[in-house]
Amino acid sequence: MTQTISDALAPLDTFGIEVPSWAYGNSGTRFKVFSTRGVPRDPFEKLADAAQVNALTGAAPRVSIHIPWDTVEDWSALADHAASLGVSIGAVNSNLFQDDDYKLGSLTNADERIRAKAIAHHLECLDVMRATNSRDLKIWLPDGTNYAGQDSLRRRQDRLADSLQQIYAAMDSDQRLLLEYKIYEPYFYTMDLPDWGSSLLQCLALGERAKVILDTGHHAPSTNIEFIVMQLLRQDRLGAFDFNSRYYGDDDLIVGSADPFQLFRIMVEIVSQGAHLPSAGVNFMLDQCHNIEDKIPGQIRSVMNVQHATAKALLVDTDALTAAQDSGDVLGAHGVLMDAYETDVRSLLADRREAKGLPRDPLAAFAASGYLDRIATERVGGTQASWGA
Ligand code: PSV
Ligand code: MN
């Protein structure tokens, strides 16, 4: 039995979770951005903090960057710095939401000058990817309208398709375009990519290296996210996750904190289609902000939460589940799933960490390391990284 559990959990060894550079900077809401001592002043320090998460969990080998927030003069120096810390640059995220020009839209804008500027920004991001050996261009389109009749919904969608086509055409054959969607915010009447179907349609028109990003916080309450996961995997179009947790909106809280059962249900769909394996190419990322909690432990906790949910999903007795499903045994099938969910995997995962030379308890090890005190003392002067830099 022990052998069976160990075999079932073996895929965790190659299951990597990408962390976002912006999680290590200060963040908050539109009401207040709190500052924390020791917060990184530049992308190099962000990478140093991210490397702590990987060093203690062994499961966070890549760091997503955001352009222009993480712009540096020498991209290879940043990539080399990452490598020296045992991590690498992950997805490159474009930014279409912090420029006055984009008030009425970026890739959808009726003004051809502004649309060309938004496209050109992505061509720069492709160059950053080349310089940092990054595979994924991640686009979140913040475009939309606030009032009925404000603009033609159809013509905005056509302009978006044309813009994306221009970006896709400029990509190398080993680069992927990942397209996020979001139901609302910053616009409220309609977003131009409000749902997975809209994102998928744009991706299908582009080609097979265009895939959808699913941000768990970007849906209406009660949306069955695991159904979307299944559907996108079925089409081989699930490119990436932005993991986080929500109660009300795009809360960006620690993944698995609000609803661990939902995270488990998502990972069950992932595991059942083999999408947790590196060969499936799904980029499991965190997209979180740590407004009131310490950032590095917040990220460590997040990585562990995803590992826990994945471990439980790996423990589902699939033979028993399929047999119960096929014989119409409703409660039997549900019970098989719940047996896995209710398994306490904490010591199993601690044993696996220990066997790999990692701390059994990464959070305790981080607290004992004194790293937070050290950066608070050392990082004096300069401007702390924050939302937007
Ligand atoms: C938007 O809410 C979003 O989820 C997008 O992924 C952005 O890239 C990210 O937040 C960080 O701004
Ligand atoms: Mn996101």
Contact 264, 312 (CB under 8 A): yes
In residues, how long is the chain?
A: 389
Rg (CA), the chain: 21
Predicted local distance difference test score (pLDDT) of residue 358: 98
What's the pLDDT at 157? Answer: 98
Dist. CA 239 → ligand 2 center (Å): 13
**What is the CA(300)–ligand 1 centre distance, in A?**
20
- Over residues 329-343, the mean pLDDT reads 98
Q: What angle do CA 348, 349, 351 make, to 5 degrees?
A: 65
| pLDDT for the residue numbered 253 | 98
Please tell me the distance between residue 140's alpha carbon and the centre of ligand 1 in angstroms: 6
Query: Which residues, 6+ apart, have CB-to-CB distance to 4 below 8 Å?
Result: none
Average pLDDT of the chain is 97
- Predicted confidence (pLDDT) at residue 388 exceeds the cutoff of 80: no
DSSP assignment of 124-181, as one string? HHHHHHHHHT--EEEEE---EESSTTSS-HHHHHHHHHHHHHHHHHTS-TT-EEEEE-
Mean pLDDT, range 205-211, rounded to an integer:
98
> In this structure, are strands 190-191 and 144-145 parallel, antiparallel, or unpaired?
antiparallel
SS3 356: coil
Residue nearest to atom 11 of ligand 1 (CA): 287
Domains of the chain as residue ranges with CATH: 6-378 (3.20.20.150)
Report phi then psi at 33, rounded to 5: -105, 115
Residue whose CA lies nearest to ligand 1 atom number 7: 140
Residue 94 DSSP class: P
C-alpha 175 – ligand 1 centre gap (Å): 20
**For residue 4, what pLDDT band results from cuts at 50, 70 and 90?**
confident
Give percent above pLDDT 70 in the chain. 99
Q: Does residue 387 have a pLDDT over 80? A: no
Q: Is the pLDDT of residue 360 over 50?
A: yes
Rounded to whole angstroms, how far apart are CA atoms 183 and 221? 11
Distance of CA 242 from the midpoint of ligand 2 (Å)? 5
Single out the residue of 183, 111, 204 nearest to residue 140, CA to CA. 183
**In whole angstroms, what is the distance from residue 156 CA to residue 61 CA?**
38
Residue having the nearest C-alpha atom to atom 10 of ligand 1: 287
Would you state the pLDDT for residue 2? 45
Q: Is the pLDDT of residue 3 over 80?
A: no
pLDDT tens profile 116-147: 999 999 999 999 999 999 999 999 999 999 99
Neighbouring-strand partners of residue 26: 386
Q: Over the range 141-168, which residues count as b (16 or more CB within 10 Å of their CB) and which as e?
A: bbbbbeeeeebebeebbebbeebbbebb
How many alpha carbons lie under 13 Å from residue 328 in its C-beta half-sphere?
A: 0
Distances from the Cα of 59 to the Cαs of 17, 95, 143, 249, in angstroms?
6, 27, 34, 28
Q: Please state, in angstroms and rounded to a whole number, the distance separating the CA atoms of residues 363 and 108.
A: 44
Which atom of ligand 1 is closest in space to residue 250's alpha carbon?
Answer: 2
Q: How much is the pLDDT for 389?
A: 60
Given the CA of residue 142, which atom of ligand 1 is nearest to it?
A: 1
Dihedral sign for Cα 204, 206, 211, 212, please. negative
Q: Which residues line ligand 1 (CB under 6 A)?
A: 93, 140, 180, 182, 215, 242, 250, 287
What does the pLDDT read at residue 1? Answer: 40
Cβ count near 331 (within 10 Å):
9
The residue nearest atom 6 of ligand 1, judged by CA position, is 140
Q: What are 62's strand-pairing partners?
A: 88
Considering the chain, what percentage of its residues have pLDDT values greater than 90? 98
Q: Both ends of the chain: CA-CA distance in Å?
A: 51
DSSP 184: S
